[in-house]
Chains A and B, each alone.
Chain A
Amino acid sequence: MLAHFPVLAASRISLLADQFRSALQQPHSGLVLRSLLILVAGGVGLYLMLPRGRHTGRRFDRIIGAALATLSLVLLATVEIPTGLAEVESAQKTLLWSFGSESKITGFTFYALAAISLVSAVMMITSRNPVYSALWFAVVLLGNSGLFLLQGAEFLSAATIIVYAGAIVVTFLFVIMLAQPSGAAKYDHVSREPLLSCLTGLILSSVLVGTLHYSARLDVRGGATETSILPSAEIITLSSTLPDSRHRTDANRHVAGLGKALFLDHVVSVEVIGVLLLAAVVGAMLIAGHPVHAPGVNETGRNKTGRNDRPS
């Protein structure tokens, strides 16, 4: 069995190499390579910015890293995304202003919100004060909910703000402020596994960008919408303008449609999730409500000297 291993591995590797070579001959490979290079630059910048081990004091690192990350962000915005859709193609040559020339405001809003989200995400993982990290996280969520709103997903954007920014991040802040009133602890100054996390993020975003390009190519070739992850032309043109609420009729009301989908198509999942959350709440109350007996205080709240400790 072990003897076959090198042969097997070699065949796999040659297969991979073949696939890589054929991928390079695809029409958009130049673009993909360019965006991969840009992503690598961004990843290196991010790694330099992360607070690492003994190098935490290096200001130079952070400045270089910030410059690299910013550069890669700007460059990434200029990479063309071929949509393969004849009617949209003329308006959407590049990712920059990709949301159509008829609505510059929409494009500007999209880029402003995306930049806010990305920059505050970077600030969140690179800042050394956990309070600031939590706040940057809240800004990321606000940017995201703005993006949802831009795409017409009103309910999702409100739910993001209520659930995440309004409740979860507030809980984080509570814990952080109560746990360390005198500033950040030692282990908050250093990020865990900066190299590995940068690599993982790099691979993830590379796969994402690559898939975006190649699925667009599939769309060009045969209109193979089933294999494409890009939405069809109709959806793109619809979502590329601001959701025009002026002409919205009762037929396509957003919340009503969402409610129908949730409580007709997915009613079982909704119920199961509800039961799950209820169980979690009951469990949390069981754990939290368990009486803790302090030494010297018995059930009646009196200590050994007989003085009543119970505040009245």
Chain B
Amino acid sequence: MQVWLEPLIKIVLVVLATQAAVAYLVLVERKVAAYMQDRLGPNRVGPWGLFQPIADGAKFILKEELIPAGADRALFLIAPVSILAAATLAFATIPFGYLVPWPGADPIELTIAPKVDIGLLFVFAIGSLGVYGVILGGWASNNKYSLLGGLRSSAQLVSYEIPLGLSVIGVLLFSGSLRLETIITAQAQSGWWWFAVQPLGFLVFMVSGCAEASRLPFDLPECEQELVGGYHTEYTAMKFGMFAFAEYLHLITVAFLTVNLYLGGWHLWGLAPYADEVGWFGAIVRVLVLNIKMLLVILFFMWIRWSWPRFRYDQLMNIAWKVMIPLGVINLLVCAVCQEFLDPKNYLTRAVLGWLAVGGCVLYAALFAHPGKTRLKAPGIT
């Protein structure tokens, strides 16, 4: 009986928590935007605008649902559902804590599907299914702007999956596992967070993750000046709400992965005595540490959003194929050399080598690269 009860409780917990988090992340985003632009932000509904998400939700539900004439009705409806389903399913192997003691039984791991040997690969696999919602939404709308937006952003998502996958191989090499729990444990045991050891991989992962979550420097899907609303131009009410929900779920996923892969997960040096303790205090502290780190990463992404202008489409593709993939390969090379020739405990030398690689890349960019000379290249015009 308990075999299915335990995952069920965890599923309900995670789904409810992520839905609530998404609702309030919208408010946080608006508040951060207001702060960056010296405004007040939403402050009408409840104290400090705290009930704004409820008002937004009611508005999503009560607005008129439109399906454009000539749209493919089935696919038009399936698109937002599929993207939201894929975004939610990705949380199955992401740990949101470590161990919680349970009287009379083994301690419970705070992951929906613990000990799945392919943890990280599962997240990537499910994440790669999110493209379908984008493509279908664009095609089924029977609108040229939507189609172009769908094609453009699905090309972006497919392209940035490659540097995203490349960047984490270094982490897998050092941790020796695809399981996110083991990756965190490896960082806790060594006392080094992987971002300090592989700064290049961390950079590539952050940039690609930002692009995968369609955050602002990479948010071409809804580049209003060019394509109205991109693939969700024709979507209204809750169907649009599902697209927006999925976008924020992607943001949370990327933040969780960043924390678990590069920022030590639940590990914090001052709390080292509690790292291996299986007690209620340790369990709660670990959950808090992990989730606060996750929130800080999200705030960092929001900070980027209001600090950087949007890339042009050719620049975006050039960054993926000509900058991020080579950087990922260099990171992989450095990590492989370290793993092969260095003592397994010698993290200081690894970190020095990693930062030297960053320095080398910066030097190369300063001396030989000409970022100002990239031009739009279309077939027929050389």
Contacts and interface: CB of A to CB of B under 8 A. Distances in A.
Interface of A: 105, 131, 135, 138, 154-155, 157-159, 161-162, 165-167, 170, 173-174, 177-178, 181, 245-246, 248, 253-255, 291-294, 297, 299, 301, 309-312
B116 A255 contact: no
A294 B379 CA distance: 9
A161 B128 contact: yes
Contacts of B129: 161, 165-166
Interface string B131-144: 11001100100000
Which 4 pairs across A and B sit closest by C-beta, in order of nearness? Answer: A166-B128, A294-B380, A161-B125, A158-B121
B158 interface: yes
A158 B131 contact: no
Contacts of A138: 132
Interface of B: 4, 75, 113-118, 121-122, 124-126, 128-129, 131-132, 135-136, 139, 147, 151, 154-155, 158, 161, 177-178, 375-376, 378-382
B154 A170 contact: yes
Contacts of A299: 382
B115 to A, nearest CB: 4
A293 B378 CA distance: 11
Contacts of B125: 157-159, 161-162, 166
Contacts of B376: 310-312
A138 B135 CA distance: 13
A273 B358 CA distance: 32
B372 to A, nearest CB: 12
Contacts of A294: 380-381
A178 B148 CA distance: 10
A297 B158 contact: no
A240 to B, nearest CB: 17
Given A167-B128, A255-B117, A294-B380, 15 more contacts: A155-B118, A158-B118, A162-B128, A177-B135, A177-B139, A177-B151, A181-B147, A254-B117, A254-B118, A292-B379, A292-B380, A297-B381, A299-B382, A310-B376, A311-B381
A235 B265 CA distance: 38
Given A165-B128, A167-B128, A174-B154, A255 B378 contact: no
Given A170-B135, A301-B381, A248 B117 contact: yes
B131 A310 contact: no
A155 B121 contact: yes
A131 B135 CA distance: 11
A199 B118 CA distance: 40
B139 A131 contact: yes
Contacts, number: 93
Nearest to A301: B381
A59 B6 CA distance: 49
Nearest to B78: A135
B98 to A, nearest CB: 17
Contacts of B178: 255
Majority secondary structure of chain A interface residues (helix, strand, loop or mixed) = helix
Contacts of A157: 125
B162 to A, nearest CB: 10
A312 B75 CA distance: 37
Nearest to B139: A177
A167 B158 CA distance: 7
Contacts of A292: 379-380
B326 to A, nearest CB: 15
A135 B375 CA distance: 36
Given A294-B380, A311-B376, A173 B135 contact: yes
B138 to A, nearest CB: 8
A302 to B, nearest CB: 10
A245 B128 contact: no
A254 B122 CA distance: 14
A162 B161 CA distance: 10
A181 B155 CA distance: 17
Nearest to B142: A181
Contacts of A166: 125, 128-129, 131, 158, 161
A223 B122 CA distance: 39
Contacts of A131: 75, 139
B382 A291 contact: yes
B144 to A, nearest CB: 8
Contacts of B117: 154-155, 245, 248, 253-255
A255 B382 CA distance: 47
A154 B92 CA distance: 14
A239 to B, nearest CB: 16
Contacts of B115: 245-246, 248
A301 B128 contact: no
A103 B116 CA distance: 20
B122 A177 contact: no
A20 B113 CA distance: 51
A146 to B, nearest CB: 12
Contacts of A297: 380-381
Contacts of A177: 135, 139, 147, 151
B136 to A, nearest CB: 8
Contacts of B121: 155, 158-159, 162
B375 A310 contact: yes
A202 B132 CA distance: 33
A245 B116 contact: yes
Given A165-B129, A291-B382, A178 B118 contact: no
A312 B375 CA distance: 7
A123 B27 CA distance: 44
B154 A301 contact: no
